[in-house]
Amino acid sequence: MASIDLLLANLLSPVVLAFVLGVLAQLVKSDLEFPPPLYDALSIYLLFAIGLKGGAELSVTPIAEFLGPAALTLLLGVVTPITAYAVLRRLGRFDRTNAAAVAAHYGSVSAVTFIASTAFAERAGVAAEGFMPALVAILEVPAIVVALMIAHVRGSAAGSWKTALREIMAGRSIVLMLGGLVIGAVAGKSGMEPVAPFFVEGFKGALTLFLLEMGMAAASRLRDLKQVGAFLVGFGIFVPILHGALAVWGADFIGMGIGGAAVLGAMVSSASYIAAPAAVRIALPKASPTLYLTSSLGITFPFNLTLGIPLYYAMATWLAR
């Protein structure tokens, strides 16, 4: 499918439109509210399902095929918080604490962006490699650690980075995704068959509903845009593109398929807004949540969802030519 068609198909997909609806609902001050348990249930379902699916695929993947992408992901996970930190300090003139806090977010990953990009790749007919969820787990933690280490070494970490690290490792995303991966891998494709109807059939619906809440959450950050300043707005768009391009190029270089490269691009460009904020709040309490949440949730996530994912796909297609 031509890139423009895919861009439009993406923008008009229920997933993206639900996100838009959430934004609109917030803007008209609707009393629509997602009860926290519903939000929790959906995120548990999505994270676990992703892990299970990835694990089942991993069980039929030769180790050799997985090692290259895994190593690349780890490398990107370590490099991207450093590039983000450098841009924020040198170009943005941010103080160390806030630069490290935001860098932790941009080095890490948004599971929802990952999920949306896999759906996009499927729609484009180039499904990504099945073991991608394992890469999400690999990407999530190192970046936060690296960013906290930068802050620690520079003497501006007020909280305990060890506590923060333990929190992330035991955090919901990691436990569900890694746990799901292990279960899926051990059960294998045949073992997963009985539960496939629940975890596979309902997946896209749950994702759509979840994106509705994400739209509301992102929109509630919009009023902080003025506060964060033009630099961070630009940062929230251009640094993801930079990181995404880096990832797509690396993936193509090591021989991943177009779908895998596009999804990796989306993953690496995405910014965490669940694991990273929790860790940063503990380890860098002096950092301003307005800066890191608004940029990751209010700017980067919507950008990636609408324009970024198709862009990384276009990059991957162009490179594979």
181 binds other proteins (CB under 8 A): no
Among 39, 66, 203, 231, which residue sits at the site for other proteins (rule: CB under 8 A)?
Answer: 39
Among 282, 305, 314, 315, which residue sits at the site for other proteins (rule: CB under 8 A)?
Answer: 282
The window from 135-143, 174-182, 261-269, 286-294 that contacts other proteins (CB under 8 A) reads 286-294
Measured distance CA(216)–CA(224) in Å, rounded: 14
User: Shortest Cβ distance from residue 15 to other proteins (Å)?
Assistant: 19
290 binds other proteins (CB under 8 A): yes
User: Shortest Cβ distance from residue 277 to other proteins (Å)?
Assistant: 5
Among 17, 288, 307, 320, which residue sits at the site for other proteins (rule: CB under 8 A)?
Answer: 288
Three-class SS string for the chain?
CCHHHHHHHHHCCHHHHHHHHHHHHHHCCCCCCCCHHHHHHHHHHHHHHHHHHHHHHHCCCCHHHHHHHHHHHHHHHHHHHHHHHHHHHHHCCCCHHHHHHHHHHHHCCCHHHHHHHHHHHHHCCCCCCCCHHHHHHHHHHHHHHHHHHHHHHCCCCCCCHHHHHHHHHCCHHHHHHHHHHHHHHHHHHHHHHHHHHHHHHCHHHHHHHHHHHHHHHHHHHHCCHHHHHHHHHHHHHHHHHHHHHHHHHHHHHCCCCHHHHHHHHHHHHCCCCCHHHHHHHHHCCCCCHHHHHHHHHHHHHHHHHHHHHHHHHHHHHHHHC
169 phi and psi, to 5 degrees? Answer: -60, -35
CB nearer to other proteins: give 65 or 167: 167
222 binds other proteins (CB under 8 A): no
CB nearer to other proteins: give 269 or 272: 272
70 binds other proteins (CB under 8 A): no
Size of the site for other proteins (CB under 8 A): 18
User: Shortest Cβ distance from residue 236 to other proteins (Å)?
Assistant: 17
Contacts (Cβ under 8 Å, ≥6 apart) of 8: none
Q: Which amino acid is at 241?
A: I
161 binds other proteins (CB under 8 A): no
CB nearer to other proteins: give 159 or 259: 159
274 binds other proteins (CB under 8 A): yes
286 binds other proteins (CB under 8 A): yes
Among 8, 24, 158, 186, which residue sits at the site for other proteins (rule: CB under 8 A)?
Answer: 158
168 binds other proteins (CB under 8 A): no
Measured distance CA(238)–CA(253) in Å, rounded: 22
The window from 44-52, 65-73, 178-186, 278-286 that contacts other proteins (CB under 8 A) reads 278-286
Among 293, 305, 311, 316, which residue sits at the site for other proteins (rule: CB under 8 A)?
Answer: 293
User: Shortest Cβ distance from residue 211 to other proteins (Å)?
Assistant: 14
Which residues lie near other proteins (CB under 8 A)? 36, 39, 158, 217, 220, 273-274, 277-278, 281-282, 285-286, 288-290, 293, 297
